[in-house]
Structure 1
Amino acid sequence: MPRFGRKWLFTFLIIIVGMYMYYGNRTIEVTSMDIHSSKIPPSFNGYKIVQLSDVHDSKFGEHHSDVIEKVVNVVPDAILITGDLIDRNRYDLEQSLDLVNGLKDIAPIYYVTGNHEISTNDQLHIQEELTRLGVHVLSDEFMLIENAYGERMLIGGIEDPLNSVLEDEEATRISLNKTFNDASDRVFKILLAHRPEQFEVYVDYDIDLIFSGHTHGGQIRLPFIGGVFAPGQGWFPTYLSGHYEKQETQMIVSRGLGNSVIPIRLFNQPEIIVVTLQVNKE
């Protein structure tokens, strides 16, 4: 091929790769899945949950319009934010609160901290601002969701282990003990927990459904291989994204919306998760 032709081919390839990288980092995929359990109360059949995770002070559209529009279209019954709403490296709380402000009238919002909130040393202020906007901040505690039929589900949230001087597993067990100490074994339990690598611990506590994040989907995903690295799990992690199940416990791991130390994603589009609860008949 003549040198002139190679130059234009190379330029064309650079443009294509650039467009793909832009699309893969600035657009949002909505991932929908059903969760089945015989413990879900019958009147909660079809209950829709939107999960947002690892926003990291990112912004999609003016005043987060891209995210808000997608959430509105789902018509959710609840919105869960599973940590790292902000980023310690470019902390912009007002920008992230702008997103929450745009979501707060769509459905009740439930939130737990991630490691980045704790790393800012501004965790209490963040929680206070979210509470001011009407967000249910779950700090080693649970709430009961009761519908018009008088049936209930439980939604709890635990602090990120970074909030403790103990090893991650021990800190997680202490948080779970504190959170579910007074909870009935018969009620369907939803847990917000930033760290998916503690899945075996969640199983030990018979949690029915966990929503987690933290992994960014591996940040860089390789075809036929998957995510390369996740904090807390290392190279080629086990709990990366999607649905996991063991015994009666199920876990959803979000790839999240934003980035932190590594500023770009590869083969790993930002994600909003939509979960619909479905009652299994015994």
Structure 2
Amino acid sequence: MSTARLGSVRLGRAPLLLVVPAVCGVALLVVPLLTLVLDTPWRTLPEHLGSEPVRQALGITAVSSLLTVAVCVVIGTPLAWLLACVDFRGRRVVRSLVLVPLVLPPVVAGVALVTALGRSGLVGQHLPFSVPYTTAGVVLAHTFVSLPFYVLAVEGALRTRGAAYDVVAATLGADRWTTFRRVTLPLALPGILAGSALAWARSLGEFGATITFAGNYPGSTQTMPSLIYVALGSDPMVARTLSLILLVLSVAVLVLLRERWATR
């Protein structure tokens, strides 16, 4: 049957057994966000944004999230290329290990970082500097939980394009480094941009691993999620205002990715 004829066939009404649970799912996701927007004290928003703790937390969050994206691009792009384009023994094991932080509870991720890079950790005890409870520790914790999102996006882009272009470049005499720079990276740019946006969004919302590994010290390691957690117990209105800021940023990321996922 042709596509035109298939499009003209009426399938009938959607069954209520499917519609009702779907509506409940939409309500579960949308209603809390709407109540957050409606219940935010808009009049005091400028005052809260101008306070010293909020400005410090915003600054640390912005710097750490941008540094996280930079680290993910530097180390995640070669890793994604290795998983997508190089056939080596144990590739499935490496891919599985890369994906573990996706399902690992954030607090467990923080504990793992402490056991490895803490002052008495396996690696940390041999370092001439301390990583936990510093801004560098915040970036490291964010990178640990954000890197899998970046690698998945870039690896998917590399696998989608296939190996035909690499083969053509090789027949023209290009080595793998030249092919990577002049062929692979330009073709994988949409995946790199999408992965960067996902890593940035994941970094903005990171809480468990950060507070476990880097602490919650104002001016050095206190990020927006950590400040929201503290404010929720002392001043819920401030917590709602700060939550609205992160909500706006999350929606902005979704808008940036709308051409890649939201319309598919």
TM-score normalised per structure 2: 0.21
Which has a greater percent of helix? 2
Name which one, 1 or 2, has greater alpha-carbon Rg.
2
Higher-strand-fraction structure: 1
